[in-house]
Structure 1
């Protein structure tokens, strides 16, 4: 399964959950335009063929140390400490880390609109 297909399956897994919005199939580009969100905040996205998830900083450091991924850099030249680029390409890992990210981001204050 290629990354786009795996992410599409991930989107299907989370569609319909309370507070979760899925990416729209549109031509819009930019940070977060194709992301899974909870209460308006991104918790998982596909970037450069890799799953990127938002997790607590300590958890990201632990996962990087275990070889599961690396810190995410949005092109600004410095890593984003609460974002993990997942380098393991299997469905179970993606779903597990995305669930963890949903729980983490969903437990924070809702985004203001």
Structure 2
């Protein structure tokens, strides 16, 4: 699966906006729900926003590694997904997590 495939899969869901056509800053290659990033393509990897405990669990299972935006400090709720087959499942989980305010 490519990031473009993932974008196609999510773009029709409620509140989702695709990555910006132009731009190079943080989040320029990101899928957003209600204006908040839930998945992005960084250095050929999918990066997703998930609850901190879930990120720890997935890192321990070898599915991903903590995401660090070149700051030297890992982001606690962000996971770099190493297992490409997990992209659709973890993107859906991130969409649900970030878009949880939509359900309230």
- TM surpasses 0.5: yes
Partner of residue 87, structure 2:
94
What's the CA shift for 1:40? Answer: 0.3
Partner of residue 99 from structure 2, selected from 94, 97, 106: 106
Q: How many residues align?
A: 102
Where do 5+ consecutive residues of structure 1 fail to align?
none
Alignment-derived partner of residue 25 in structure 1? 21
SS at match of 1:80: coil
Query: Structure 2: how far apart are the matches of 1:108 and 1:51?
Result: 23
Please report how far the alpha carbon of residue 16 of structure 1 lies from its aligned counterpart in structure 2 after TM superposition. 1.5
Post-superposition offset of 1:24:
2.8
Q: Is 1:12–2:5 an aligned residue pair?
A: no
Structure 1 residue 108 displacement after superposition: 3.8
TM-score (norm 2): 0.93
Q: Quick one: distance in 2 between partners of 1:81 and 1:43?
A: 14
Q: TM-score, normalised by structure 1?
A: 0.86
Unaligned regions of 5+ residues in structure 2, if any?
Answer: none
Whether 1:73 and 2:73 are equivalent positions in the alignment is: no
Instruction: Name segments (4+ residues, structure 1) moved above 4 Å.
Output: none
1:57-72 equivalences in 2 (<5 Å):
57-72=52-67
RMSD: 1.2
Q: Which residue number corresponds to residue 55 of structure 1?
A: 50
